[in-house]
Chains A and B, each alone.
Chain A
Amino acid sequence: MTEALAVSVFVLSGLLVLLQVAIVVDRVRSDRRRKDIAVLRPGIETALASYVADPEAKPPKPPGSELGQLVLREVALEAIVELRGSEGDRLIGLLEQDGTIDALCDELLSKSPVKRRHAAEALGEMRSPESADDLLFGVRDPDCDARVACARALAELGEDDYTAAVVEAADGAAELRPGAAAGVLLSVGRRNPAGIGDALAAGRSIAVRRLAAGVVAELRLAEHAPLLRAILREEDDELVARAARGLGAIGDADAFDDLLALVESPERPWFCRAVAAGALGAIGDPRAAPALEALLEGSGHWMMRDRAAAALAQLGAEGQDALRRRRESAIEEVRDLAGVALEAA
């Protein structure tokens, strides 16, 4: 026992010493890096700001060191988010000229998937057309995160030619990386709205179609209302709910009958019917009042009642009359919700 303890003490002491050395070495390294960045950064920021602000200014000399180039990249990424119009174009032009874009495109072929992903993300922020070919190659990357980052960067370029590849990549990632795939579709929706139709199409996975329906709702892409209306008759309840929400966000009056049918379908789960009620309220057609009043009174489910009451408040006089009738309901919950909705109206 004593020998075992002695060996343990020896080993543990050695480990502890190694750990302390590792802490100190890492700290020295990070301190040095922090100091170097503190020296480099102000100069790079000033040079970039001066160049971007003055159309006559000559391009600044690119940093010689690897750290300098990393700092330049970081500063440029922060600036690009804020810059618009000619200043943003000047900055991207500078990055193309000084080789930053080329360097990032080279990193898309790096052995490290993390580096490939970071490079793609940076290219996505920079939106340089020079990176298109490399990104198009990158959407076939074996690493899912790198692939999705390339797809997003390509979507940010807004070219119709790339949409099929981008949507394909999003579809492939929708189960594993739903957030990232949603980000890709958001970029498609913003830069090339027509392209979202591909992601909504019946042949795509349910996962990507759900995400696409959500993006259509967020961006209110009215051109896809017919696709959303068709989705209301599908089996996947979550997809149907998102399509209903999208139609409400768009305010698609043509969807009235389908949304009404959804509200009145007892076989659909509560959240589908609640969202459809909300969509009818957003569309504002007073013909929905009887169905919504019936939902408020008879559904027995708080969320459905709450949405029905809120929707009635948006239907003008007919809706408010319905709410006043429900203030006389024998059910306390119905009376309360009708009262709240009337007050809000």
Chain B
Amino acid sequence: MNGYAAFVFGYFILFATFHAWLLVMAGVELRRHARHVDMANLRRTVRSPLSPPISVLVPAYNEEAGIIESVSSLLALEYPTFEIVVVSDGSKDATVAKMIEGFDMRKVDRPTPPFLEHEEVEGVYVPNGRLNLLLVDKGNGGKADALNAGINFSKYPLVCAIDADSVLEQDALVKTAMPFIEDPERTMVSGGLIRVANGCRIESGRVLEAKLPKKALPMFQVVEYLRAFFGARTGWSAVNGLLIVSGAFGVFRKDAVIAAGGYNTDTVGEDMELVVNIHQTMREQRRPYRVVYIPDPVCWTEAPESMGVLRKQRRRWHRGSIEALWMHKKMMFNPRYGVAGVLAMPAVLLFEIFGPMIELSGYAFAIFAFATGAMQLDTFLLFLAVAVLYGLILSFGSIALEDASFGRHPGWDQLGKLLVFAVLENAGYRQISHVWKMEGVWDLVRGGEWGAMERKGLGSPDPVQEQVGLR
């Protein structure tokens, strides 16, 4: 029993030290970002002919209710040159019909480029007017499959993958494109901040008033997102160890995605799998590269408001993380794969995959030990206090970083609400999240599918090439 207690305590020290380091790295990176990026830079980017053109990919399945609004707001994004590629993934409703009618589109003959595999294309549509818009109607294959089709039909060297119900702020593309402008040869991926749209006033695909959610469940998710984005992803980006860019909003170099074989349709964590795959591909090709997270550009998304939906989401995310690690297990602890292989992937395995298991078993152990008299009450309470206090420091630290850098919750009441929910999170929400993650593991084990073999791209074996000349 003492042995197990020592193990849990030792794990906790490791966890605490590691995340403290990550938080410090995040702080350094945020400071660097704030000094480097300013309004003048953004104004120049919007005006510059050197800003790389972007294809915004919108996978859509049964989105007839909101597709016109979503696409209309995307067409109004502030960026010099971009196109919107909507991919209807075998929609059974009127998504395609609405698009054709709403944007006055006509069917054209367009051969399918061979770069990535996907379900068969039923039709390609272009607008009769001058809109930079393309509609691809294909058989159902899932989000990853739809994105692969979008990549095939995109015409620009950068692709931005978003969800159909994502709401991008007008300057989101400009801000996310900055790393590609600063360092076009090395930057392969750039991700932005995802914020919870619940409680906000959204009209015509725009967030008119940003507010915190009224309900508790999405509020807990706001705190989680702040911790994940400001506390973790910013830190990982600083050391080129970022393993995930959210599927709701991320910009990629198209040739890097094609070289990595595109989105994997055999996993539910296709967003993480792609980024890990890009790390692997770039390292194997011995190409200098970077995967960055930009804390400034914002994409709004609806967070689940019911326990049932949230549970499904968390099970899927956890399962997706495990699948992504498994599919690239040869990178684990392998110095050939740099920070991603030696540090990031082991950290995800140890703290994200095993962490919930160890934490829950720690609680169970402490309760058992206390109940059997093996542990005194004061030791038990101190143990719980340490766990909670440390979690609070991570949450408060992330809130502090966000507040100091961007101050997107200007009211004192909003700040107070965030801090209160950061405390309340430890009174059940955190623990139930861990249980859902364990269910995700069980789903994987029960399903027996450990992911497909590593994918190879269908294109030529050429190393990733500059495509600036092919604009």
Contact = CB atoms under 8 A, between A and B. Distances in A.
Partners in one complex: yes
A9 B183 contact: no
Interface in B30-84: 35-36, 38-41, 43-44, 47-50
Contacts of B307: none
A27 B469 contact: no
Interface string B366-387: 0000000000101100110110
Interface in A6-40: 6, 8-9, 12-13, 15-16, 19-20, 22-23, 26-27, 30-31, 34
Contact of B469 (A6, A78, A145, A241): A241
B467 to A, nearest CB: 7
Given A302-B113, A303-B470, A19 B396 contact: yes
A335 to B, nearest CB: 9
B231 interface: no
A19 B393 contact: yes
A218 interface: yes
A108 interface: no
Interface stretch (B206-214, B237-245, B315-323, B397-405): B397-405
A60 B88 CA distance: 58
Given A27-B403, A178-B182, A271-B467, A337 B111 contact: yes
Nearest to A333: B111
B379 A121 contact: no
Contacts of B443: none
Contact of A23 (B185, B385, B396): B396
B225 to A, nearest CB: 18
A270 B460 contact: yes
Nearest to A240: B469
B458 to A, nearest CB: 10
A186 interface: yes
Contact of A179 (B184, B467, B470): B184
A204 interface: no
Size band of the A side of the interface?
35 or more
A165 interface: no
A26 B468 CA distance: 43
A9 B378 CA distance: 12
Given A5-B382, A238-B466, A241-B469, A340 B412 contact: no
A242 interface: yes
Size band of the B side of the interface?
35 or more
A134 interface: no
A93 interface: no
A12 B393 contact: yes
A244 B468 CA distance: 12
A333 B113 CA distance: 9
Interface in B6-30: 9
B469 A238 contact: yes
Contact of A242 (B43, B47, B407, B468): B468
A274 B419 contact: no
A214 B109 contact: no
A275 interface: yes
Contact of B184 (A178, A219, A302): A178
15 contacts: A5-B385, A20-B396, A23-B396, A23-B415, A26-B400, A121-B38, A121-B41, A183-B48, A218-B50, A244-B469, A245-B471, A269-B465, A302-B115, A307-B470, A340-B108
Interface of B: 5, 9, 35-36, 38-41, 43-44, 47-50, 108-111, 113-115, 181-185, 376, 378-379, 382-383, 385-386, 389-390, 392-393, 396-397, 399-400, 403-404, 407, 410, 412, 415, 419, 460, 462, 465-471
Given A8-B382, A269-B465, 14 more contacts: A2-B376, A23-B415, A27-B412, A27-B415, A74-B39, A77-B40, A78-B39, A81-B47, A125-B40, A177-B183, A182-B50, A218-B49, A238-B468, A336-B109
